[in-house]
DNA sequence: AATGAATGAGGGTTCATTCAT
DNA sequence: CATGAATGAACCCTCATTCAT
């Protein structure tokens, strides 16, 4: 009997294991969104996942590792969306950038739940080097790619007085800043209003490349 | 001479009480900056303040109230700097806005310590309505005043195609986003580089009103 | 055979849970008897039970609930002894009453330890409505049943000048008063001397029904 | 100036001091009655007395001593009432005993507040030898004196089959038991009903000496 | 003599982690 | 693999006591 299983069972087991991990990570995300970082306990997480209390340490060794894996999961999830957004966009740098902006303020990424979790992690990042490292790895890559797109537009459009690196930094900062606005309900922006702020800025820089967004009420 | 003192004694006691509170709040800020929100304990705070364990509950009743008062302290401190910055600026709206930008990226406001604490609170805000309320009260005011300055510039400079409200939202989002960049060391910006990003943007919108910043290395 | 066990395992777990609760309640009783109500700590109780500190909150949620459950346990224990005493007594009301008196001054009920615990609870009862409610539920029932026995004796023995309700109240008050005497070692009564006081009283009321006790030294 | 004061000030100071002590003791009694023994704090007591927090240790050295002094105060207060009751009664032993019973269920002694405090102390007595000693000193004296009265009645009335010591023990036990009944609201007796139970008993023993009480509704 | 801010040991409680089942 | 009862370190908070004023 044993000779038939080594090929099949490990695979399904690995899948089952991966499913358990994802189940726990998603429960963690939900709990942090609901209760906040500091009030989220293992009991909350396992209850949310409808699993037993001991299972986290079975799959993640410790709470700290679960949290780190959760952050990596979020980062990885964002990355795959980001790459998909770029791949599906038309080849022009303008389309690529618009596609990224659309993603950042899409229903998939820009939910209160996810923003709450991201800022929960960023709030802890100041004192947890591992979180910072995880965030930084991904983010600097995005900025570089975006700077590349801006550079292309600058070159092709004779905008030599502009600085691609700065524009990319501006785009990123605007995005994160608008996310925080939305989380804190500071200026009562919704997703589309936030996106309009970005598009407005892009239009002001490259009036021939980016359209004026419809101004929401 | 002695007959004047009885009036001073109660006052000095009241003052001492306020000083104690401030001492504890500052210790709390330091601890959150060092250890993060979730790892900051009362023992840490009182040790940092070189006071005894029981003193927080004497002056703040509970940890939760101390944290809220700390947030209010930070918000009030920022507000007084903000008002001072406006008062000391030349009367023109451009000067006012430059003054605010200078403040936001000054050595006083834009330190790693303070950014860490602000984002620690914002990270918890998603699940603590009291924090959100405290933040929102102040912030919406700033945006309104800034929008007023932009409106003035727009009116006086014949820039009717621009939208003051959006520009103010952009300025705020940029500021918060750059702060997060700095905290996460995402693009390795320092205070001056971050400020340059903002000034670059302002120049791009109102080239006659805001100068191009010196591009740092 | 193995197919029958799956039914037993959950039951044994449930049983174990009930046993843990009883173990903790008994430890609580011992601690209150030894140290008194106000000096009994969770650490004392769990140490007495040779269990860990956290276990009380696992099984009782809080100290207050443990104490209430302890009171209920004591009340329930007394009740079952009381019912057993009545069931095992001969059918005559005299036998029933004698049986109750014997119980109240038996080695089972009338120990220094138990008296100390009962009075510890009664001492707190003045300010804890839940304790009072718990006590009252049981006690008024006993008085009523005893009044019934007295009524029977009165009716059958032509003692119409007596008042069953008052006699029952007298019996109860005497019992509780003698318990307090014993706890405070006020008149240095032992169990038998205390019982003799009661039997003496019963004899004085119903000389034909209750015997004069042997007067102890 | 100083030569006139040594005679007067110490006396008035001693009085003031004694008044402070009594003030604190009365506050203690009120607090124990309201909150119970275990929940009564020094802050409660000094607040109730409208005095400063530090004053207890000035006058009583410690909380424990204040509590002991409170018990002694209660015991002394009862004693003086008891002696007054005996002195004011007619010389016959029957009058003396009736006078004591009247006292024990008078508005002065038999209040919920005082019962709550007495039982609070008795509840702690099981584990505090000092309390027990304080209680026992007084109580055994009362029993002896009462036994003396019963002995007198027995001798004068040819009741030689009765046992004065037992009757005194019965009277005491009944009194304490009825007090507990009233505290726990076990049978909803009021002061007069409780007294009637005692008088009923006395009448049943000495029908020619003690009257049947009016049976309350 | 009186005050009440300050102290810190010790209280009840929480919760990440372990491990027998 | 999975469970959840059990553990105990560490948390927040209380409060008797001290002591500078």
- Name the nearest CA neighbour of C200 among D149, D213, D141, D168: D168
pLDDT category of residue A6 using cuts at 50, 70 and 90 = very low
Which positions 167-186 of A are in contact with B (Cβ < 8 Å)?
169-170, 172-178, 180-181, 183-186
Residues in chain A: 217
Closest Cα in chain C, distance from residue D24 (Å): 20
Mutate to test the interface with A, among B161, B165, B177 (most CBs of A within 10 A): B177
Positions 59-98 of D with beta carbon below 7 A from strand E are 59
Q: pLDDT band at D136, cuts 50/70/90?
A: confident
Q: Pick the residue from chain D with its C-alpha nearest to C30.
A: D127
| CA–CA distance, B140 with D186 (Å, rounded to integer) | 63
How many contacts, defined by CB atoms under 8 Å, are there between A and B? Answer: 176
Structural domains in chain C? 1-61 (1.10.10.60), 64-217 (1.10.357.10)
Q: How far is the CA of B55 from the C1' of E8 (A)?
A: 10
Percentage with pLDDT > 70 across chain A: 93
Q: Residue D133 pLDDT > 60, yes or no?
A: yes
| A residues 17-46 closer than 8 Å to B (CB) | 33-39
Phi-psi region of C190 (alpha: psi -120 to 50; beta: other; left: phi over 0): beta
CA distance A177 to A179: 5
Angle between the N-to-C axes of helices B164-184 and B93-104, in degrees from 0 to 180, rounded to the nearest 10: 20
Residue A82: HSE in the Cβ half-sphere, 13 Å Cα cutoff: 15
List, in sequence order, the alpha helices (H) in chain C: 8-35, 42-48, 55-60, 63-88, 93-104, 112-125, 129-156, 164-184, 191-205
Q: Is there contact between A194 and strand E, defined as CB under 7 Å from any strand atom?
A: no
Give dist(CA D123, CA A6) in Å, integer. Answer: 70
pLDDT at site C126: 85
Subunit contact C200:D170, Cβ cutoff 8 A:
yes
* Strand F contact at CB of residue B163, distance < 7 A: no
Q: Three-class SS of residue A11?
A: helix
Cβ pair A126:B132 closer than 8 A: no
Chain-wide mean pLDDT for chain D?
91
Q: How high is the pLDDT of residue D71? A: 96
Q: Do C119 and D116 touch (CB under 8 A)?
A: no
- By C-alpha distance, the chain B residue nearest A35 is B127
Q: CA-to-CA distance for D180 and D115, rounded, in angstroms?
A: 8
On whether any CB of chain A is under 8 Å from the CB of B160, the answer is no
Residues 36-95/C with CB < 7 A to strand E: 40-43, 53-54, 56-58, 61-64
Q: Which two tokens stand for residue C60?
A: 């009782």
pLDDT at D68 over 70: yes
Q: Give the angle subtended at the CA of A128 by the CAs of A123 and A131, to the nearest 5°.
A: 80
Say whether A205 and B204 touch across the interface (CB within 8 A). yes
Chain B: residue whose CA lies nearest to A116? B126
Length C58 CA → E16 C1' (Å): 15
Q: How far apart are CA A164 and CA A151, in angstroms?
A: 5
What pTM was estimated for this model as a whole? 0.90
- Concatenating the DSSP letter of every residue in C73-88 gives HHHHHHHHHHHHHHHH
D166, C216 contact by CB (below 8 A): no
DSSP secondary structure code for residue D41 in this structure: -
Residues 6+ apart with CB under 8 A from B179: B104, B110, B115, B118, B119, B194
**Distances from the Cα of D46 to the Cα of A98, C61, C197, D66, angstroms:** 70, 33, 44, 12
pLDDT digits (tens, 9 = 90+) for A159-178: 988 999 999 999 999 999 99
Which residues does chain C have with pLDDT short of 50? 1-12, 217
Q: Which residues contact C78 (CB under 8 A, 6 or more apart)?
A: C109, C138
Q: Lowest-pLDDT range, A19-23, B72-76, C112-116, D212-216?
A: D212-216
The alpha-carbon gap from A192 to the nearest alpha carbon of chain B, in Å, equals 13
Q: How many C-beta neighbours within 10 Å does residue B59 have?
A: 18
- Please report the pLDDT score of residue B15 as a whole number: 64
Mutate to test the interface with C, among D123, D197, D205 (most CBs of C within 10 A): D123
Residues 129-148 of D with CB under 7 A from strand E: none
B54 touches chain A (CB under 8 A): no
Which of residues 40 to 59 on B have a Cβ less than 7 angstroms from any strand E atom?
A: 51-55, 58-59
**pLDDT reading at A1 higher than 50:** no
pLDDT band at A100 (very low <50, low <70, confident <90, very high): very high
d(CA B178, CA B181): 5
Per-residue tokens: C92:
């005559």
Mean pLDDT of chain C: 90
CA(D57)–C1'(E2) in Å? 11
In tens, the pLDDT along A47-99 reads 999 999 999 999 999 999 999 999 999 999 999 999 999 999 999 999 999 99
Instruction: For residue range A181-207, list pLDDT tens digits in order.
Output: 999 988 788 999 999 999 999 999 999
How many CB atoms are located within 10 Å of the residue B9 CB? Answer: 9
Nearest Cβ partner of D174 from C34, C170, C189?
C170
Nearest to A178 among B35, B173, B215 (CB): B173
Reduced 3-state DSSP string for D148-191: HHHHHHHHHHCCCCCCHHHHHHHHHHHHHHHHHHHHHCCCCCCH
CB contact under 8 A, B180 and A174: no
Taking each continuous run of H as one helix and of E as one strand, the counts in chain D are 9, 0
Touching check for A123 and chain B: CB below 8 Å?
yes
Q: What is the pLDDT of residue C215?
A: 61
Rg over alpha carbons for chain C, rounded to the nearest Å, is 21
Q: Match 């290395």 to its residue by tokens.
A: B217
Compare all CA atoms of chain C with the CA of D196 and give the residue at the minimum distance: C166
Identify which of D186, D80, A153 has the alpha carbon closest to the alpha carbon of residue C137. D186
pLDDT for res B70: 97
Q: What is the pLDDT of residues A102-123, one digit of tens each?
A: 999 999 999 999 999 999 999 9
Read off the pLDDT band of D42 (50, 70, 90): very high
The protein footprint on chain F, as nucleotides within 7 A of a CB, is: 1-21
Low-confidence ranges of chain B (pLDDT < 70): 1-15, 215-217
Class of residue B18 by CB neighbours under 10 A (exposed 0-12, middle 13-18, buried 19+): exposed
CA atoms within 13 A on the CB side of B111: 11
How far apart are alpha carbons B206 and B189 in whole angstroms?
Answer: 24
**What pLDDT score does D82 carry?**
97
């Amino acid at each position: 009997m044993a000779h038939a299983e080594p090929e099949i069972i490990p695979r399904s087991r690995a899948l089952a294991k991966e499913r358990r991990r994802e189940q726990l990570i998603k429960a963690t995300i939900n709990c942090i969104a609901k209760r906040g970082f500091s009030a989220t306990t293992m009991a909350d997480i396992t209850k949310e996942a409808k699993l037993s209390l001991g299972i986290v340490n079975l799959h993640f060794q410790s709470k700290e590792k679960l949290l780190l894996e959760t952050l990596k999961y979020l980062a990885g999830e964002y990355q795959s969306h980001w790459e998909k957004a770029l791949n599906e966009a038309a080849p022009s740098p303008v389309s690529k950038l618009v596609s990224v902006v659309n993603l950042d303020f899409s229903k998939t990424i820009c939910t209160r739940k996810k923003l709450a979790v991201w800022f929960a992690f960023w709030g802890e990042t100041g004192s947890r080097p591992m979180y910072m490292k995880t965030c930084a790895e991904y983010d600097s890559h995005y900025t570089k790619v975006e700077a590349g797109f801006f550079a292309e537009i600058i070159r092709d459009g004779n905008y030599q007085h502009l600085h691609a690196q700065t524009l990319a930094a501006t785009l990123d900062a605007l995005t994160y800043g608008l996310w925080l606005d939305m989380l804190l309900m500071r200026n009562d922006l919704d997703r589309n209003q936030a996106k309009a702020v970005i598009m407005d800025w892009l239009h002001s820089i490259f009036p021939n490349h980016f359209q004026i967004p419809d101004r929401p009420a």
